[in-house]
Chains A and B, each alone.
Chain A
Amino acid sequence: MIGLARFYLAAILVFLYLPIVVMMAMGFNESSLYELPFHFSTKWYVALAGNDQLISAGINSIVIAVITAVVSTILGTMASVALARRTFKGKTLLQLMLLPPIAIPWLITGTAMLVFFFWTGIGRGMHALLIGHVALAIPYVVLVVGTGFQTIRADLEEAAMSLGSTPIHAFFSVTLPLLAPSILGAALFAFAVSLDQFVISYFLATPGFTTLPVQIYSAIRKGFTPEINAISTILLIGSMAAILVFAIFARPGGVSDKR
């Protein structure tokens, strides 16, 4: 039975990674029509360097992702501290309020933002994208930092206070250093979430300012060319790297369970 289980898991992994591998491989194939036999070539990556639209979209994506990561991590950590360490009524309600960005289909949230920003004159473009991305990333940050909080016992801060620390000093000298890995992980997470975000970006982008996923989508709708494979591969490796670093550092709760 175990052999069957292992074989099944291998099959699942194949299912999950096969398309990705194929897509990446085709980015290195000479043929512009994806025809076999396979001839290795980096010409599509070279062509990419000259594709101003994709490059500027890529830079936009990274800039937005970095700003999103910073802002959402700061905001989310502050909220997390309040939720974890302070007592007040209505905590459950506040925690529920973090769910809409993740739980509601992004189509609905994205179009709602489009409508609202139009009506209030905020419009679309970089600032709109930032507002949207940060709103999306905050719940994830609160989740990751919140999970990190659970591993820090409350009596550590109490011990610090019993030794003469004011609550603020206790937070900065004891809790924050222990929380640092989670905060870093949350920032990485937020970065990846922003980088990969398509739906919200789709509605809030303008022809003048767009993000990489949106640009890739337009390119796909026009037709398949291996340049798309090249840029997709780069994007994929970028977000996979961020997530892998996160997985190693922040040790998210559900994954590191041992039996």
Chain B
Amino acid sequence: MQPEAVSASTTRGPEGSRARPGIPGWLATLVLLLPTYGWLFIAVLLPLCTMFVFSFMNATPMGKAPIVFTLRQYQVFSTQPYLLGIAWTSLLMGFWTTFACAVLGFFAALALARATIGRTRETLLILILLPFWTNGLVRIFSWTMVLREGGFLDDVLHWVWPGAGSIGFLYTRSAIVVGLVHGYLPYMILTCYIALVTIDDAIIEAAASLGARWWTILFRILIPMAAPGLISGAVLTFVPVLGSFMEPRILGGRVGVTMGTVIEDQFTQAFNWPLGAALSFTMLAVVLAIFATFSGVLRRGSGAVA
């Protein structure tokens, strides 16, 4: 490049450039954000507010009947004590599912983080996560094929021990838990894995050099350091399980009565929308309380969900 007369170049600025920047910045930001948040406002926030209002109604507003506001729906736990039992069942179900996912998932994540490398690990991760993103209904239906009387379990049993009875346990509470665990295990494995994979090898080596045996390393180092992943996975398992109704119905049959199915009933069978709304909001309150309690951990622990 010859050293040109420098003055000739300075006057030629880039084309399309003006001193004024054009659209004001705040307007551009608004245009970008409004469609999304407008949509969410209409599709999520307003409905939740509406349901909140409904929960104070006496009866589903149909036709010309006047709307009466009452707290009756929220008192339903005292007027219909059997609901307490159902609530308790739901909580237990949530607890057992979360616990099983935590134990199984943590060790799977541990195995992934420490016993596999590179390509194998990536492939395994994709394989493990793949079912999570497929249709939950289909997966639950698959379990009926295995757990029903005469299903896969029984077939295997009879192949080994012909003439035995049935071990199919479809339409029991355990079946529901098995189906739910199957559904949420991959997610728990992911969150635990992300937490475990950041633990430096050197930490474990340092512990070993100081005399720690494997159980010490497990309970005093690995689990505490993976706690954020465990907790965020647990919260994001427990909450959806609380609200599940499809799994209890399909896998539990008549035994599958949970808060979720009760709420669903109000909307599809009993047409008692105010009661459904009140129960929903009670559940929402519980959910929000759980999130609030663990908000610190959740923010740190749930890095890449995709």
* A touches B in complex, CB < 8 A: yes
By a beta-carbon cutoff of 8 Å, the part of chain A in contact with chain B is 1-2, 5-6, 8-9, 12-13, 15-20, 22-23, 26, 33-36, 74-76, 78-79, 81-82, 86, 88, 94, 97-98, 100-101, 103-109, 111-117, 119, 131-132, 134-135, 138, 140, 142-144, 147, 163-169, 189, 192-193, 195-196, 198-199, 202-203, 213, 216-217, 220-221, 224, 228-229, 232, 235-236, 239-240, 243-244, 247, 250, 252-259
B252 at the interface (CB under 8 A from A): no
Per CB-CB distance, the 10 closest pairs between chain A and chain B, nearest first, are: A105-B243, A164-B14, A254-B304, A135-B43, A5-B115, A116-B47, A23-B142, A5-B111, A19-B142, A112-B47
- Interface contact B138-A199, CB-CB below 8 Å: no
Pick the contact of B43 from A15, A35, A114, A131 — CB < 8 Å? A131
Residues of B within 8 A of A1 (CB): 115, 214
- Would A213 and B51 be within 8 Å (CB), given that A5-B114, A220-B250 are in contact? no
- Would A16 and B128 be within 8 Å (CB), given that A9-B116, A105-B239, A239-B134 are in contact? yes
Residues of A within 8 A of B189 (CB): 12
- Interface contact B138-A112, CB-CB below 8 Å: no
- Would A257 and B138 be within 8 Å (CB), given that A75-B35, A113-B47, A243-B130 are in contact? no
Cα A114 to Cα B280 with chains together (Å):
13
B118 at the interface (CB under 8 A from A): yes
How close is A218's CB to chain B, nearest CB, in angstroms? Answer: 11
Pick the contact of A257 from B54, B134, B197 — CB < 8 Å? B197
Cα A259 to Cα B201 with chains together (Å):
10
B73 at the interface (CB under 8 A from A): no
- Interface contact A114-B133, CB-CB below 8 Å: no
- Interface contact A115-B50, CB-CB below 8 Å: yes
Which single residue of chain A is at the shortest CB-CB distance from B40?
A135
- Count of inter-chain pairs, beta carbons less than 8 A: 284
Which single residue of chain B is at the shortest CB-CB distance from A102?
B305
**What are 19 inter-chain pairs, A to B, with CB distance below 8 A?**
A19-B152, A36-B155, A86-B25, A88-B26, A98-B40, A103-B287, A105-B283, A106-B243, A107-B244, A107-B264, A111-B280, A113-B47, A116-B47, A166-B22, A196-B137, A232-B142, A247-B126, A254-B190, A254-B305
How close is A97's CB to chain B, nearest CB, in angstroms? Answer: 6
Cα A236 to Cα B134 with chains together (Å):
6
Which single residue of chain A is at the shortest CB-CB distance from B42?
A131
Which single residue of chain B is at the shortest CB-CB distance from A146?
B306
- Interface contact B137-A213, CB-CB below 8 Å: yes
How close is A143's CB to chain B, nearest CB, in angstroms? Answer: 6
Pick the contact of A132 from B43, B146, B244 — CB < 8 Å? B43
Cα A172 to Cα B16 with chains together (Å):
15
Residues of A within 8 A of B263 (CB): 107, 111
How close is B184's CB to chain A, nearest CB, in angstroms? Answer: 11
Which single residue of chain B is at the shortest CB-CB distance from A2?
B115
B205 at the interface (CB under 8 A from A): no
- Interface contact A109-B142, CB-CB below 8 Å: no
- Interface contact A255-B246, CB-CB below 8 Å: no
- Interface contact B134-A240, CB-CB below 8 Å: yes
- Given A18-B146, A254-B303, 18 more contacts at CB 8 Å? A5-B110, A12-B128, A12-B185, A22-B142, A78-B33, A79-B35, A82-B32, A104-B239, A104-B284, A112-B44, A115-B47, A163-B14, A232-B138, A243-B130, A244-B130, A247-B130, A255-B126, A255-B304
- Interface contact B36-A142, CB-CB below 8 Å: yes
- Interface contact A107-B260, CB-CB below 8 Å: yes
Cα A23 to Cα B137 with chains together (Å):
12
B277 at the interface (CB under 8 A from A): yes
Pick the contact of B29 from A86, A119, A244 — CB < 8 Å? A86
- Interface contact B33-A79, CB-CB below 8 Å: yes
Residues of A within 8 A of B61 (CB): 119
- Interface contact B280-A34, CB-CB below 8 Å: no
B 164-192 binary contact with A (CB < 8 Å = 1; else 0):
00000000000000000010011001100
Residues of A within 8 A of B92 (CB): none
- Would A198 and B47 be within 8 Å (CB), given that A135-B39, A247-B126, A252-B306 are in contact? no
- Interface contact B194-A240, CB-CB below 8 Å: no
How close is A242's CB to chain B, nearest CB, in angstroms? Answer: 9
Residues of B within 8 A of A115 (CB): 47, 50-51, 54, 273, 277
Cα A203 to Cα B268 with chains together (Å):
8
Question: Most chain-A CB neighbours within 10 Å: which of B22, B115, B214, B242?
Answer: B115
Residues of A within 8 A of B133 (CB): 192-193, 196, 239, 243
Interface residues of B in 41-66 (CB under 8 A from A): 42-48, 50-51, 54, 61
Cα A88 to Cα B25 with chains together (Å):
10
How close is A166's CB to chain B, nearest CB, in angstroms? Answer: 6
- Interface contact B111-A112, CB-CB below 8 Å: no
- Interface contact B138-A236, CB-CB below 8 Å: yes
Which single residue of chain A is at the shortest CB-CB distance from B147?
A19
Cα A164 to Cα B280 with chains together (Å):
56
